[in-house]
Amino acid sequence: MGRKVILTGASGAIGQAIAKRFLQNGDIVLLAGNRHTDALEALANGSSGASSMSSPASSASGSAAFSSGSAASASPRAFVFSGDLSTAEGCAALFAYADEVLGTPDLLINNAGISHVGLLQDFSDEELVTMLNSNLLSSIRLSKEAAKRMLRVHSGRILQISSVWGLYGASTETSYSAAKGGVNAFTRAFAKELAPSGISVNALAPGAVDTPMNGHLSAEEKQALSDEIPIGRMASPEEVAEMVFLLSNAPLYLTGAVIPFDGGWF
């Protein structure tokens, strides 16, 4: 039987690549996103090529959920949850729904987040709060909810998708760097709390990844960025997904680690 996986930010380029990798492995995946639910439903349905069914989410913070099962089995392989995970209510609703369709998760992948390029002095306080809620507090809240359930069985893994900017900082991405730096510190600290219970907490810190999030860069800027990276290019979403998958299978002795994945950039 496959593992029970909760994946946030599942509708983005990296999220979709991660989802496909785990579904290919035969895992059961709850795909969580706030927008582009149609893409998540298509992804879930494509995991088995079978008919779909809908069921209500457990809170008004989340919309209708979608699952797909194989023709040979009534057991669903994928579920979709739509809700705003930058709020405490959205995080609680996700886990209320996960309790219904998954039970205790084996793995939580905190991949949801936003990016904003600009000088810090040009950010409004509301934008700063949104950045921290979306990138840091959501990871903390969701990890807390996952840990409550994993502690009952003394087993589980939590994996944060961070960024090299959380390690080194980036000009014009100051608030994003601060939020991801917080994710890294949280990862190291929470890992120490959960290690005695057989639960690992790690973070993957990708460098430049070729996704629509970098769509603001011109072709010349992308080339200049690639020239800075020793391997000579940005990572693909599929490469990040493969690294996530490898970490999900690492020995439990690997915990509290923040692992750069940047082509030798830093």
Res. 68: pLDDT tops 70: no
> Is 176 an annotated catalytic residue?
yes
CA gap 1, 18 in Å, rounded: 19
Q: What is the arithmetic mean of pLDDT over 84-94? A: 97
The label of the residue with tokens 């769509």 reads 215
Sequential DSSP letters for 46-103: HTTT--EEEE--SSTTB--EEEEE-TT-SSEEEEEEEB-TTSHHHHHHHHHHHHHHTS
Q: What is the arithmetic mean of pLDDT over 176-195? A: 97
Helix/strand/coil for 8: strand
**Residue 125 is encoded by which pair of tokens?**
């306080």
| All residues at 6 or more sequence positions from 128 whose CB lies less than 8 Å from its CB, including other chains | 175
pLDDT at 186: 98
**266 found inside a domain:** no
pLDDT in tens, 14-61: 999 999 999 999 999 999 999 888 888 888 887 653 223 333 343 434
**DSSP classification of residue 213:** G
| All residues at 6 or more sequence positions from 80 whose CB lies less than 8 Å from its CB, including other chains | 10, 30, 31, 32, 33, 37, 40, 41, 44, 65, 66, 67
pLDDT at 87: 96
CA gap 66, 8 in Å, rounded: 15
Query: Reading across the β-sheet that carries 107-110, which strands appear in turn?
Result: 52-55, 65-69, 76-82, 28-33, 4-8, 107-110, 156-161, 199-206, 258-261
The label of the residue with tokens 């090529």 reads 49
Q: What is the pTM of this model?
A: 0.90
pLDDT at 70: 38
pLDDT in tens, 193-205: 999 999 999 999 9
Number of domains composing the chain: 1
CATH number of the domain bearing residue 28: 3.40.50.720
**243 found inside a domain:** yes
**158 found inside a domain:** yes
Res. 7: pLDDT tops 50: yes
pLDDT at 48: 54
**168 found inside a domain:** yes
CA gap 178, 2 in Å, rounded: 36
pLDDT in tens, 148-172: 999 999 999 999 999 999 999 999 9
| All residues at 6 or more sequence positions from 197 whose CB lies less than 8 Å from its CB, including other chains | 150, 151, 154
Domain of residue 206 covers 4-261
CA gap 197, 156 in Å, rounded: 9
In degrees rounded to 5, what are phi and psi of residue 58? -85, 0
Q: Which of 97, 168, 176, 253 is catalytic?
A: 176
Residues 172/117, Cβ–Cβ less than 8 Å: yes
CA gap 66, 78 in Å, rounded: 8
In degrees rounded to 5, what are phi and psi of residue 68? -130, 140
Residues 33/111, Cβ–Cβ less than 8 Å: no
CA gap 195, 13 in Å, rounded: 31
pLDDT in tens, 99-122: 999 999 999 999 999 888 899 999
CA gap 109, 121 in Å, rounded: 32
**216 found inside a domain:** yes
Res. 66: pLDDT tops 70: no
pLDDT at 17: 97
**69 found inside a domain:** yes
What does the mean pLDDT of the chain come to? 89
pLDDT at 75: 56
CA gap 129, 136 in Å, rounded: 10
Q: What is the arithmetic mean of pLDDT over 236-264? A: 98
**140 found inside a domain:** yes
Quote the percentage of the chain above a pLDDT of 70.
89
Q: What is the arithmetic mean of pLDDT over 209-222? A: 86
Q: What is the arithmetic mean of pLDDT over 125-146? A: 96
**66 found inside a domain:** yes
